[in-house]
Amino acid sequence: MSDYEAMRRAADAAIAYRRGIAGAETTPVADYAAMLAAFAGPVPQTGGEADAIIAELIGKATPGIRASTGPRFFGWVIGNSHPTGVAADWLTSAWGQNGGNLIAAPAASAVEKVAADWLLDLLGLPGEASVGFVTGATVANFVCLAAARSEVLARAGWDVEADGMFGAPPIEVVIGADAHATVYSGLKYLGLGAKRVKIVPADTSGRMIASEFERVVKTCTGPVIAIAQAGQINTGACDPFAEIAPIATAAGAWLHVDGAFGLWAQAAPARAHLTAGVEAADSWATDGHKWLQTPYDCGFAIVRNAEAHRRAMAISASYLPPAEGSERDPSAYVPELSRRARGFATWAMIRQLGREGIAHMVECHCQIARHMGERLADEAGIELIAPVELNQLMVRFGGRDDATLATVKRVQDDEIAFIGPALWRGNWVMRVSVTSIATTMAEADVAVDAVIDAWRTIRG
Ligand SMILES: Cc1ncc(COP(=O)(O)O)c(C=O)c1O
């Protein structure tokens, strides 16, 4: 049998899996220990036959596949890996293109350029900004902060790419109290220090308070990087960009926005007021694998000052083609040289949904989240922790941690919907994320019924 038959087997299995999951409950999932037991064994002494290997992989892995593409999956912030994006991603693998340069991968480089322009248009960001196609918002934050570090130090007369951080003018980092953990990772990677930050107090939804932002920025003396966010992971709250961006500009600060999912409010006219003014920032991190529904992994590092972006990331070597004239060199905006050509899946998903489809999906998710919050808050003993503006919501049960965690566990064990816990201001909550295009209002209602049933059982 030819090796190519393995590809057909994989495609058939994938299609059958996705057809099943579309109508399914969250299906029981084998745990990590069971999966280790299934896969463990010594290094195979001899090779095998492609089709049999893929059949074995399907057989062993399927019981441990979490149904995160199903319609009642509300855990973390996870998109649907839409079939169109997956199909484009299959081709990306099959074509085996190295997305690192224009000569090695002409189609991949061109599609990235087009998808980059489409993203800037959809997200209402400046047309001159550069876009790096990375693994996700974690790396996008890192790349944007690397460009920020380069530029604020260059303005202070320091070449960080050449001379590193030892002896550099100290950078002051200003950040909201409810920023995402991955922004701190970026600070850590860049030698900026996760603890060397000035924290701006936030309101009860996790939104930076503009007057506090101004007060903290005014205490800074050296080069400043300010970090805001569109879409707080627990509440969905967006910082008041229209107020803070002019303050950052007046202080000569670089303003970065972590918009892993929330930046997509920009693509939905009925929600764009939530991110008003965000286009005045200097850099933005966002994901494809969340609200754009691309398969993993896919994120975008967007920088207004393309020169700073290239300074921080570009790689040159004698054997690599020089970027021709004004042509976009895909590796100049990311930390890797050889890499997956993520432009194909991004292009395919924007082509699939179109401007109207994206706006409609984002708006539907926001309406579903609000509806779920209202229904849950109507039940005695369930408290909605913050107003629902976007797609994230938090509820707490009986005003107690143990009752809340027990309800989350009960919901997960009932296998009708998947929803996870989170800590918010020292208290455990159930956090619901409506991010999958598979989720409809009817499916959300089934999930709400399951949560209320679970809570009634716990409450007794
Ligand atoms: C606000 C925010 N920033 C950054 C991230 C990290 O994104 P990723 O996991 O795609 O790297 C997330 C993930 O949920 C997020 O919600």
Residue nearest to atom 12 of ligand 1 (CA): 260
> Which residues line ligand 1 at a C-beta cut-off of 6 Å?
77, 136-138, 180, 182, 229, 231, 233, 258, 260-261, 287, 299
pLDDT of residue 47: 96
Quick one: pLDDT band at residue 25, thresholds 50, 70, 90?
A: low
Q: 250 CA distance to ligand 1 centroid (A)?
A: 29
Residue nearest to atom 7 of ligand 1 (CA): 137
pLDDT of 391-401, one tens digit each? 999 999 999 99
Average pLDDT of the segment spanning 334-338? 95
Torsion angle of the four alpha carbons 45, 47, 51, 52, in this order, in degrees rounded to the nearest 10: -20
457: left (phi over 0), alpha (psi -120 to 50) or beta: alpha
Question: Partners of 130 in the beta sheet?
Answer: 303
d(CA 388, CA 379): 17
> DSSP string of 115-143?
HHHHHHHHTT--TT-EEEEESSHHHHHHH
Residue nearest to atom 10 of ligand 1 (CA): 136
Which segments of 293-337 does DSSP mark as H helices, in order?
Answer: 306-313
Residue 402 has pLDDT above 90, yes or no: yes
Are 142 and 171 a contacting pair, CB within 8 Å? no
Q: Report which ligand 1 atom has the smallest distance to the Cα of 77.
A: 14
Are 73 and 418 a contacting pair, CB within 8 Å? yes
Q: Report which ligand 1 atom has the smallest distance to the Cα of 287.
A: 10
Average pLDDT of the segment spanning 360-389? 98
Vertex 378: Cα angle to 376 and 380 (nearest 5)? 95
pLDDT of residue 11: 97
Most confident of 19-28, 317-326, 397-406: 397-406
Q: 13 CA distance to ligand 1 centroid (A)?
A: 30
Q: What percent of the chain has pLDDT over 70?
A: 98
Ligand 1 binding pocket mutation candidate from 68, 74, 76, 77 (most atoms within 8 A of CB): 77
Quickly tell me which residue has 């050296």 as its tokens.
Answer: 222
d(CA 404, CA 128): 47
- As a residue count, the chain comes to 460
Closest CA to 118 of 425, 378, 394, 350: 350
Quick one: pLDDT band at residue 24, thresholds 50, 70, 90?
A: low
